[in-house]
A and B are shown apart, each in its own frame.
Chain A
Amino acid sequence: MPIVIKHLSFTYSANTPYEKKALKNINLEINEGDFLGIIGHTGSGKSTFIQHINGLIKPQQGEVEIFDLKLTPAKKPKVNLRDLRSKVGMVFQYPEYQLFADTVEKDVAFGPKNLGLSAEEVAKRVKTAIEMVGLDYEAVKDRAPFELSGGQKRRVAIAGIIAMQPKVLILDEPTAGLDPYGKEQILNLIKYLKTHCSPTIIVISHDIDEITRFANRIVVFNDAQIAYDEPMQQLFKHSRQLQKMGLDIPRAVKVVNNLRARGVDLGDDIVTAEDLLKAIIARYNEKHSAQIDEGACVFDMYDFSQKWLTSEEREELGLIPKSEEVPKAQSKTRKPNKKTKPRKTKDEEGKE
């Protein structure tokens, strides 16, 4: 059992007029291999909770056990936080705001360097991490992170965490602020990391349709407590209560509930778009004696190839020659910079 939380409570600004109970007697066991989704409206305690898991907040009451490390309110024995953070990696909201180094390579190397690894090992991990997030190591390593697009910056930030090869990876709103395509890329990346890097993943998200695409278990925070802890397929039996808490339910569940209210019952194990498609086709086949193959039907929201780099991004990174509109006339008339390499690339994101 990698993570065991017992009777955890936390209060902000205790004994002041601003006192706020953020966690009340939380008990939770997170298993190795869990793909855990955490939901809850703003202020429900979920962020305070995850900050306990990698030792950013010390428990005030109760205890947090992570692998063989035990965090308690007691001052002694002292817990090796470096050891803890090498095991539990945390990707904050808008992690690209935390990029600071002047090259991508240095930024990603910061974490593993601080773990005290050999230079050789650091270099190896940095290369692996950058490639793992779907960027071309040779093309990006010497570039300033700020030249990259928003989605690319976020991937660099994630690379910085996975370079520490954490066994548990926590991501807080990993797709916030990205466009649909950028979101899709990050979601695919998270799934990839689950099998290739961190076997236990915890994701906080407001977008329930996003969470249901990968989580196998969902924990719902409400009013500083855990309201539900259910396998993903089971959670939405409580849709009415979830909606009362001001939480969204998956769109497929909404459709199923509406259909049921109008006398069409498709069953109650439908959560994702794919589930709904299959159930509708099965019902349609039955009613109209049709023979539509449910396997042939896909919910392809985006035209998204599994490759994380689009041809544009490859162009941007100089991996393939730019197809057109190289301002040749201009570059002939002006002298190229003598010492610095001419920049082939451009950061459209920041300039939008």
Chain B
Amino acid sequence: MAVLLDNVTYSYNINDTHRIDAVKQLSLHIEEGTFVALVGHNGSGKSTLAKLLNGLLMPTSGEVKIFGKSTLDPNNIYEIRKNVGMVFQNPDNQMIASIVEDDVAFGPENLGIERDEIIRRVEWALSKVDMLEYRKRTPFKMSGGQKQRLAIAGVLAIKPKILVLDESTAMLDPQGRSEVLKVAHELNKQDGITVIHITHFMEEALDADRLIVMNDGRISFDGTPREVFKHYEELKTIKLAVPWETQMAISLHKAGIDMGEGIVNEEELVEKLCQLL
């Protein structure tokens, strides 16, 4: 089991008298090799959940286990952080070196890995995110999508088994967003890395194996994207929206045109409309 959360609660102290439970008695299992999309509106607790996964935050109660090791035990933290790589939202905040390959080498250097192996890893990681040709360049003038792919490479060089993308696509333009998603899916398929992609764009969840919807610190829905999208009415009430194409099919269906169920993308919508029109 890659990730196991057992009855986890996390509370923030607001002041002396007030606390907020950002995550409430949440239990969750994620199998190794799964591509999970974690969706929820701002304030639903999804980023808190992400930070619980590599021990950046410790559960107030309950337990988080990564490959069977609890984050509560300080002896495990080093290994857990090696296994769980995190990429955050702002592409400009995650670069530390002025040359691309130095930036990627930062992680393995800190693990005390020998030079030849570092060089191999940097090359491997950069080619994985399709940035090898930029290895001698500076990251500062790159596009948001390139910077985020570089941030992913930096994490990959540590050879994590789990990659957490904490709203890593939120600040990107559509092109950058699809670049990052493509890389994440390739890493999942080709290298078997477990991916937990946190986003509030429902359409980014389409190709995930599993879609988990969070609201108010709890899991509201958990299933394949197709299953979850059937609950479109409930999703709206928790400030989320189904993909545009699904909404189009639903609107037509409501008007009295039999669109059937389960349209989630453009191809399916066009196919159905061709039959009808």
Say if the beta carbon of A114 comes within 8 Å of chain B.
no
Docked complex Cα distance between A61 and B261 (Å): 58
Say if the beta carbon of A117 comes within 8 Å of chain B.
no
- Which residue from chain A places its CB closest to the CB of B273 in the assembled complex? A259
Choose one: A42, A182, A301, A348; the contact of B144 (CB below 8 Å).
A42
Which stretch, A25-33, A102-110, A273-281, touches the partner chain B? A273-281
Say if the beta carbon of A321 comes within 8 Å of chain B.
no
Docked complex Cα distance between A303 and B18 (Å): 31
- Which residue from chain B places its CB closest to the CB of A266 in the assembled complex? B277
- Which residue from chain B places its CB closest to the CB of A151 in the assembled complex? B42
Q: Are B143 and A42 in contact (CB under 8 A)?
A: yes
Taking CB atoms, residues of chain B closer than 8 Å to A262 are: 270, 274
227-245 of chain B: CB within 8 A of chain A: 236-237, 239-241, 244-245
Least distance between A346 CB and chain B CB atoms (Å): 5
Q: Are B44 and A41 in contact (CB under 8 A)?
A: no
Choose one: A251, A276, A334; the contact of B16 (CB below 8 Å).
A334
Choose one: B18, B42, B255; the contact of A281 (CB below 8 Å).
B255
Known contacts A42-B144, A352-B48; A259 and B274 CB within 8 A of each other: yes
Q: Are B14 and A343 in contact (CB under 8 A)?
A: yes
Q: Are B236 and A303 in contact (CB under 8 A)?
A: yes
Interface centre among A178, A259, A283, A301 (most CB of B within 10 A): A301
Instruction: Mark A332-344 against chain B: 1 for CB-CB distance below 8 A, else 0.
Output: 0010110000110
Which stretch, B100-108, B128-136, B167-175, B182-190, touches the partner chain A? B167-175
Q: Are B251 and A303 in contact (CB under 8 A)?
A: no
Instruction: Mark B42-66 against chain A: 1 for CB-CB distance below 8 A, else 0.
Output: 1111111000000000000000000
Which stretch, A48-56, A76-84, A191-199, A289-297, touches the partner chain B? A289-297
Taking CB atoms, residues of chain A closer than 8 Å to B240 are: 179-181
Interface centre among B12, B47, B202 (most CB of A within 10 A): B12
- Which residue from chain A places its CB closest to the CB of B240 in the assembled complex? A180
Known contacts A283-B277, A303-B236, A349-B43; A177 and B171 CB within 8 A of each other: yes
Say if the beta carbon of B81 comes within 8 Å of chain A.
no
Taking CB atoms, residues of chain B closer than 8 Å to A179 are: 41-42, 200, 239-240
Say if the beta carbon of A206 comes within 8 Å of chain B.
yes
Docked complex Cα distance between A179 and B276 (Å): 34
Instruction: Mark B1-45 against chain A: 1 for CB-CB distance below 8 A, else 0.
Output: 000000000001011111110100000000000000000011111
Least distance between A177 CB and chain B CB atoms (Å): 5
Docked complex Cα distance between A351 and B254 (Å): 39
Docked complex Cα distance between A258 and B265 (Å): 13
Say if the beta carbon of B247 comes within 8 Å of chain A.
yes
Taking CB atoms, residues of chain B closer than 8 Å to A281 are: 252, 255, 257
Docked complex Cα distance between A248 and B173 (Å): 10
Taking CB atoms, residues of chain A closer than 8 Å to B191 are: none
Taking CB atoms, residues of chain B closer than 8 Å to A300 are: 247, 251
Taking CB atoms, residues of chain A closer than 8 Å to B273 are: 255, 259, 264, 280
Least distance between A203 CB and chain B CB atoms (Å): 15
Taking CB atoms, residues of chain A closer than 8 Å to B74 are: none
Say if the beta carbon of A287 comes within 8 Å of chain B.
yes
- Which residue from chain B places its CB closest to the CB of A296 in the assembled complex? B255
Taking CB atoms, residues of chain A closer than 8 Å to B12 are: 351
Choose one: A42, A181, A251; the contact of B245 (CB below 8 Å).
A251
Say if the beta carbon of B79 comes within 8 Å of chain A.
no
Taking CB atoms, residues of chain A closer than 8 Å to B251 are: 273, 277, 297-300
- Which residue from chain A places its CB closest to the CB of B234 in the assembled complex? A303
Known contacts A209-B244, A327-B18; A42 and B173 CB within 8 A of each other: yes
Least distance between B109 CB and chain A CB atoms (Å): 30
Least distance between B237 CB and chain A CB atoms (Å): 6
Taking CB atoms, residues of chain A closer than 8 Å to B45 are: 352
Taking CB atoms, residues of chain A closer than 8 Å to B274 are: 259, 262-264
Docked complex Cα distance between A246 and B173 (Å): 11
Query: 4 smallest A-B Cβ distances: which pairs?
Result: A181-B239, A303-B236, A297-B255, A348-B43
Beyond A327-B17, A336-B17, A352-B42, list 10 extra A-B contacts (CB 8 Å).
Answer: A176-B170, A177-B89, A179-B239, A180-B200, A255-B270, A264-B273, A280-B257, A290-B256, A301-B244, A337-B15
Supply 7 A–B pairs (Cβ within 8 Å), ascending by A: A255-B245, A262-B270, A283-B277, A300-B251, A303-B236, A346-B14, A352-B42
Interface residues, chain A, CB within 8 Å of chain B?
A: 41-43, 149-151, 176-182, 206-207, 209, 246, 248, 251, 254-255, 258-259, 262-264, 266, 273, 276-277, 280-281, 283-284, 287, 290, 292-294, 296-303, 327, 330-331, 334, 336-337, 342-343, 346, 348-349, 351-352
